[in-house]
Amino acid sequence: MSQRSCLSIVLAAGEGTRMKSSLPKVLHQIAGLPMVAHVVKAAELAGSGDQALVIGHGAEEMRKAATKFAPDAETFVQDKRLGTAHAVLAAREAIARGYDDVLVMFGDTPLIDPGALTVARLKLAEGASVAVIGFRTPNPTGYGRLIEKGGRLVAIREEKDCSEEEKNITFCNGGLMAIDGSKALGLLDAVGNANAKGEYYLTDIVEIATGEGLEVVATEASFENALGINNRAELAQAEGIWQARRRHEVMLSGVTLISPETVFFSHDTEIGADTLVEPNVWFGPGVKIATGAKIHAFSHIEGATIASNCDVGPFARLRPGADLKQKAKVGNFCEVKQAVVEEGAKVNHLTYIGDARVGAGANIGAGTITCNYDGYSKFFTDIGEGAFVGSNSSLVAPITIGKGGYIASGSVITEDVPEDALAFGRARQKTIPGKGKELRERFASAAAKKKAAATDH
């Protein structure tokens, strides 16, 4: 297989009107990645060296998005929607370069398994000219049926054209296929449009190839592989299936999910063995977690790196650029953004750390914030090793707290603090004996007069 060249053609020109969205349908996301990107990724894992995206609606937006998930892919525009074979031929220039295999895929089938594509390619390597990927279902109503004779696929029949006997067939067309690259253009050019819609159907190449004496076969995959997304409800269904697959993989890799159905991963989440994840945790894109970490309930994490044996949450938010070193702690109702929390440092309660470094072994008291933004620019806070920041302190950046520095609770710190120094940044307390009683009596009298005046009126 590795010696066979392969072009994958991903059809992504549909308008997706049932999505009720200005965003092209195939750019709607599953696990933080556009569904068409899932398809491209599957093709790459199946050994496809080159990709061609056939686009239409939102062409410029599609091109822009493709630079991120398929930077080397060529894009071809289908100006008129005249059927699936017509869409594939939009990439005629790419097909004509000559490939051993051509995979035809749909950008709205994000759950395709690379293994299913590999099996179809193997059939081409064994001599088939066309390999169609199908699925079995006990309720085939609405799907095209795969008509086989003697172990060969002879036709794909739409339900409205099926005989009563053919309607009982439960082997259905998944829409995905692999075509011998040397025969692809000939088969596609032979497709006509003598049908009610006047469109060119890709499925017709099965009968065309059979008529030419070429070998056509069907391979079987699960229904999920062919699940197409047409509306938001189906998008949510696909998300659920993807998440269930990923949770299963993660648990088999040695991660404990206490309540798996409440944990959500992104397409690129990396999580090490012996990590414990409590209920209701969401991982956004770009998260890397080493071994032995504990992620407590209701935490929201994206773009963060968490080293081994760290402790996060509950109710923690790690934003992009958060970098927790070994045995660091970010506790409940804390937010960390674009900051390094060094080994063994603790950010325990009700705290915001942004654009900062918290040195090894430092302790950040409850209610502390780094004041990193003046409305125009961001500034850096450097907290040294072993420093202690008392509760309810504001550190006004740019500022440095030296190694072993001690910040008294309730301080507003605006100047650098040297190593091992103690810094106060608060008004001196003044206590006046008896003044509290005097104030209560004054306020009570004023309230009574106000109430009496209102009653008189």
- In this structure, the answer to whether residues 258 and 378 fall within a common structural domain is yes
Q: Which of 38, 267, 349, 457 is catalytic?
A: 349
Cβ neighbours, 10 Å, residue 266: 20
- In this structure, the answer to whether residues 29 and 99 fall within a common structural domain is yes
Please tell me the predicted confidence (pLDDT) of residue 445.
Answer: 94
Please tell me the predicted confidence (pLDDT) of residue 211.
Answer: 92
Instruction: Report the alpha-carbon distance of residue 371 to residue 413 in Å, rounded.
Output: 10
Whether 248 is catalytic is: no
In a domain, 435, yes or no: no
Beta-strand pair 29-30/6-12: unpaired
In a domain, 1, yes or no: no
Residue 56 in contact with residue 81, Cβ under 8 Å?
yes
- In this structure, the answer to whether residues 177 and 251 fall within a common structural domain is no
Task: Examine the fold and report which residue of 207, 226, 245 is the final residue of a domain before the chain moves on.
Answer: 226
Q: What is the CATH number of the domain that holds 143?
A: 3.90.550.10
Question: The domain containing residue 388 runs over which residues?
Answer: 232-423
Task: Examine the fold and report which residue of 226, 243, 271 is the final residue of a domain before the chain moves on.
Answer: 226
- In this structure, the answer to whether residues 309 and 384 fall within a common structural domain is yes
Please tell me the predicted confidence (pLDDT) of residue 387.
Answer: 97
Total domains in the chain come to 2
Query: Tokens representing 256?
Result: 């404990």
- In this structure, the answer to whether residues 240 and 188 fall within a common structural domain is no
Please tell me the predicted confidence (pLDDT) of residue 1.
Answer: 54
The DSSP annotation for 290-310 comes to: -TT-EE-TT-EE-S-EE-TT-
- In this structure, the answer to whether residues 126 and 272 fall within a common structural domain is no
Please tell me the predicted confidence (pLDDT) of residue 457.
Answer: 67
Please tell me the predicted confidence (pLDDT) of residue 65.
Answer: 87
Residue 27 in contact with residue 36, Cβ under 8 Å?
yes
Task: Specify the residue for token string 């504990």.
Answer: 294
- In this structure, the answer to whether residues 246 and 215 fall within a common structural domain is no
- In this structure, the answer to whether residues 27 and 148 fall within a common structural domain is yes
In a domain, 450, yes or no: no
- In this structure, the answer to whether residues 185 and 302 fall within a common structural domain is no
In a domain, 357, yes or no: yes
Contacts with 334 (C-beta within 8 Å, 6 or more apart), sequence order: 316, 317, 347, 348, 349, 350, 351, 352, 353
Task: Examine the fold and report which residue of 165, 198, 226 is the final residue of a domain before the chain moves on.
Answer: 226
Instruction: Report the alpha-carbon distance of residue 253 to residue 317 in Å, rounded.
Output: 25
- In this structure, the answer to whether residues 249 and 378 fall within a common structural domain is yes
In a domain, 46, yes or no: yes
In a domain, 319, yes or no: yes
Q: For residue 358, list its beta bridge partners.
A: 341, 383
Instruction: Report the alpha-carbon distance of residue 102 to residue 77 in Å, rounded.
Output: 18
In a domain, 333, yes or no: yes
- In this structure, the answer to whether residues 129 and 245 fall within a common structural domain is no
Query: Tokens representing 215?
Result: 């070998």
In a domain, 254, yes or no: yes
Q: What is the CATH number of the domain that holds 323?
A: 2.160.10.10
- In this structure, the answer to whether residues 165 and 109 fall within a common structural domain is yes
Tens-digit pLDDT profile for the chain (457 aa)?
Answer: 558 999 999 999 877 788 898 888 999 999 999 999 999 999 999 999 999 999 987 788 888 888 888 898 999 998 888 899 999 999 999 999 999 999 999 999 999 999 999 999 999 999 999 999 999 999 998 899 999 988 889 989 888 888 889 899 999 999 899 999 999 999 999 999 888 788 899 999 999 999 999 999 999 999 998 899 999 999 999 999 999 999 999 999 999 999 999 999 999 999 999 999 999 999 999 999 999 999 999 999 999 999 999 999 999 999 999 999 999 999 999 999 999 999 999 999 999 999 999 999 999 999 999 999 999 999 999 999 999 999 999 999 999 999 999 999 999 999 999 999 999 998 888 889 998 899 899 999 999 999 888 877 6
